[in-house]
Amino acid sequence: MEIVCPHCSQPVQFPNDLSSAGASIRCPYCQEVFQLPGSGTPVPPPWHDPRQTSPTSPRYSQPHTTSPVGWILLGGVVSIAVAVGVWWYSQQSYRSRVNQMTQDIRERAKEEMGRIHQQVASDAIAQYQITKRNGTAMDAFVQAGVVAAAFLQAKDEANYQKWKAIERQEAARAGIP
């Protein structure tokens, strides 16, 4: 610790434990003996001293209402809570986006498959009509079967039944029992 000599105003260093004993000390500058304060904190001299406003002044060591460590801990807890909240929200919105996209893809795939089946069936009908004009009865029978199979793939039962009937007619025409 440090104290200002009341005789010569020089700063005098002394061990901490001496101050609590209220011991006497001899100033190394002016050789005068004076007593250290017993409280353990330096007593400000009655005359003006610029070190009164320095960080070693007693006013500064008074306990704070909220310690800086408390504020740091509170800040850390709040930061973690905010980070967890942001993470959770982003996870939820990511999952819902993935679910929506998966559903959209399934819907589109279903539509696309339906479109493909319809295309296959209409192509088969076109081929049946060409075969009917240019081919044998046997060719027409085979092609009618292809059209019926296409509607079965498309799960179009009405058209499947219709083309099974046409297939049977073509079979009769071709002489197939």
CB 154 within 8 A of CB 162: no
Q: Residues 25, 33: contact at Cβ < 8 Å?
A: yes
Q: Compare residues 26 and 115 and give the one whose CB is closer to Zn ion.
A: 26
Kindly state the helix (H) or strand (E) to which residue 25 belongs, with its residue range. strand 24-26
In whole angstroms, how close is the CB of 56 to Zn ion at the nearest point? 19
The residue among 46 and 63 lying less far from Zn ion, judged by its C-beta, is 46
Question: To the nearest whole angstrom, how small is the minimum distance from the Cβ of residue 51 to Zn ion?
Answer: 16
18, 27, 142, 152: residue in contact with Zn ion (rule CB under 5 A): 27
CB 31 to Zn ion: min, Å: 7
Rounded CA gap, 63 and 55, in Å? 14
Task: Please state the closest distance from residue 79 (CB atom) to Zn ion, in A.
Answer: 53
Helix axes 157-174, 137-153, angle to 10 degrees: 160
| CB proximity list for 8: less than 8 A, separation 6 or greater | 27, 29, 30, 32
Q: Specify whether the CB–CB gap between 130 and 94 falls below 8 A.
A: no
- Binding of Zn ion at residue 26 (CB under 5 A)? no
Please count the other Cβ atoms lying within 10 Å of the Cβ belonging to residue 131: 20
- Could you say which residues in the range 2-21 bind Zn ion, by CB under 5 A? 5, 7-8
Interface pick for Zn ion out of 30, 138, 149, 174 (rule CB under 5 A): 30
For residue 29, state whether it binds Zn ion (rule: CB under 5 A).
Answer: yes
Q: Which of 32/157 has CB closer to Zn ion? A: 32
Is 5 or 147 the residue whose CB approaches Zn ion more closely? 5
Taking the alpha carbons at both ends of the chain, their separation in whole angstroms is 122
What radius of gyration do the chain's Cα atoms show?
A: 51
Q: Shortest Cβ distance from residue 24 to Zn ion (Å)?
A: 13
Which residue, 32 or 123, has its beta carbon nearer to Zn ion? Answer: 32
Binding site for Zn ion (CB under 5 A): 5, 7-8, 27, 29-30
